[in-house]
Structure 1
């Protein structure tokens, strides 16, 4: 998963009048699917009633890749929208960095 700034996920939807919220959903969906989740196309998010089901599938994908419960992620995204996405992104960043292997940088010798 790509590490994104949680502050950017919070402020960019405000600046772009909500467009970045959809962009974030689409990019994150692609990353989740590349890691084995089965989240349907983001176009379904635009359909009013179907968007609730789509957010549930999206939360399932996040839970599958990062671990944790589906209900809390769905609740954050459904009730708080892009503000909830800030908390979900911070959680994904923490889970991704915790599972990533540590690399040690050594100084170059001349």
Structure 2
């Protein structure tokens, strides 16, 4: 049972929370992404992920394209999330995301 709950948490719950949180940060940085409620609507969730990927391209100023972000998340799941998160971190380091909190320090 513990293994099942771990898999559900890592592959279902955490990615949804991460998408919603990053969506909020990208909207504050000027991206145009619709409500995250579309994530739970079949077919609309693909549209939403495409718009979210456009937000990734917007906040990274083209360093990571919309198509690449979409493919990374769609095909690689958590691995794609890590790659996109790295792009976000680099954008923050380079001052591309105005109004964002500073990146946390790793001890």
Aligned counterparts of 2:89 and 2:7: Cα–Cα separation in 1: 21
Q: CA deviation at 1:57?
A: 0.1
Structure 1 unaligned blocks of 5 or more = 1-12, 101-110
Q: CA deviation at 1:94?
A: 1.2
Q: Number of aligned residue pairs: give it.
A: 88
Q: TM-score, normalised by structure 1?
A: 0.72
Could you say which structure has the larger radius of gyration? 1
User: Of the candidates 30, 50, 69, which is equivalent to residue 56 of structure 1?
Assistant: 50
Runs ≥4 residues deviating over 4 A: none
Instruction: Specify the alignment match of 2:77 in structure 1.
Output: 81
Say which structure, 1 or 2, has more relative contact order (CA 8 Å, 6+ apart): 1
Q: TM-score, normalised by structure 2?
A: 0.74
Structure 2 unaligned blocks of 5 or more = 1-5, 97-107
CA-atom RMSD, angstroms?
1.8
